[in-house]
Copies of this chain bind each other. A is one copy, B any other.
């Protein structure tokens, strides 16, 4: 029996009359079904959604109190029909139709891989990943959650990594506000969980948090497993059947949210009760169950996962060492032929652990190294606090100096060519990113030059027939003080040798002799003498 159609777009809204939902919004089918037995284990439910030749199958889920839901993210506009399938007669064969309208102005669809190493929304708009991490912000008291969302809204971050399961670790020994499973002992903190009984309130709250992030334009990089439990609750060591059921349940609930990314695990190799093959199985389940599919990755401790597996969409890497130098950062690109996101590169903060006391400038430096290497970087913050609230784990407020600089970097990324920033002259020189013959971003890091001789590697023929005579504007960027200073005049390329073009007048660009400087060059597409850069 059909109870009603809910349309979620950030928050859940009821539509009156003929159901409509915008493209990449959430169409939610709500059905009434059995409450006897264990619906989580016994009831199978899915729906087939059809529009023309588009056919997608989405799994449904039990949401407690006799309520069953199937959520669907329509990928194209038009008239859609659906029909349910279930092993329960009451839920089987329910059919209907709905209209999918154009997306609203803030809705660009899910993020996917673009140009091999980069990301774009489904509508084609480039997505420049700039993520942060608050592992269990959503299981903190309501006021703290609200504060986290407020902080995020004012931040430059467009992705947040967080865990489904609660976390127990240093600075994070409080119990979560809810638990994901019903207890056999009626005792909230027991480890005697009933793996067959999801606590729907827990997952409803998770839904709301993902939706709240969507409202802010932030991608939810949801971590399915992590080791920071260590048997305290036992969610890190459930039986394999419970693991698989949990993965399917989360996919059924959340796959319809366009801002959802799957992260199979945080520090997968630190989960000593799991084997590598377990994570392969989880990945295969998601690859099979997720109808869209969303981005999917897995985050490492000290052992990299095999990110060449076909269902892994991008490499999510913890390795601060790799972004200490742009020449290191670019190496993983060629191995994986996928976007590389350095999701954990140590944290801005002042705790004792060596992963948690980077100076702000060091963290910003790592982001820039990653950027000019054609990769992406992740933020985190671990400032010691009397209230035990560290952003990295619980959210709250940002105290560091890096976010403002990362907002500046974000502007630079957004101003770059849509194809993305690539290493220029791969495996030959580090620190120069861009698109050959079009755009260059030269980062000097901790070097303190007073001058940069205008020389560029010969662009490949695929980029330009000949670089001879190409003209560029130049700007100097102080990446720490967040200034952009145009360099007077323009620069014209002339062949220097088989590998290099230089300014025809042998000009250089003066630099202030301070660290963290960059130069940005943009080709001038107008006639000689004009100053209009070739990029918007």
Contact = CB atoms under 8 A, between A and B. Distances in A.
A499 B303 contact: no
A303 B327 CA distance: 16
A430 B352 CA distance: 22
Given A325-B325, A327-B328, A304 B428 contact: no
Contacts of A321: 327, 427-428, 430
Contacts of A320: 427
Interface in A416-466: 426-428, 430
Given A331-B328, A335-B304, A427 B352 contact: no
Q: State the number of copies, please.
A: 2
A254 B37 CA distance: 67
A303 B334 contact: yes
A427 B319 contact: yes
A498 interface: yes
Contacts of A324: 327
A306 B308 contact: yes
Nearest to A429: B321
A322 interface: yes
Nearest to A306: B308
Nearest to A352: B498
Nearest to A328: B328
Contacts of A335: 304, 332, 335
Closest 9 CB pairs of A and B: A321-B427, A304-B334, A328-B328, A335-B335, A331-B331, A308-B308, A327-B328, A319-B427, A306-B308
25 contacts: A302-B426, A302-B427, A303-B334, A304-B334, A308-B308, A319-B427, A320-B427, A321-B327, A321-B427, A321-B428, A321-B430, A322-B331, A324-B327, A325-B327, A325-B328, A327-B328, A328-B328, A328-B331, A331-B331, A331-B332, A332-B335, A335-B335, A352-B498, A354-B428, A354-B498
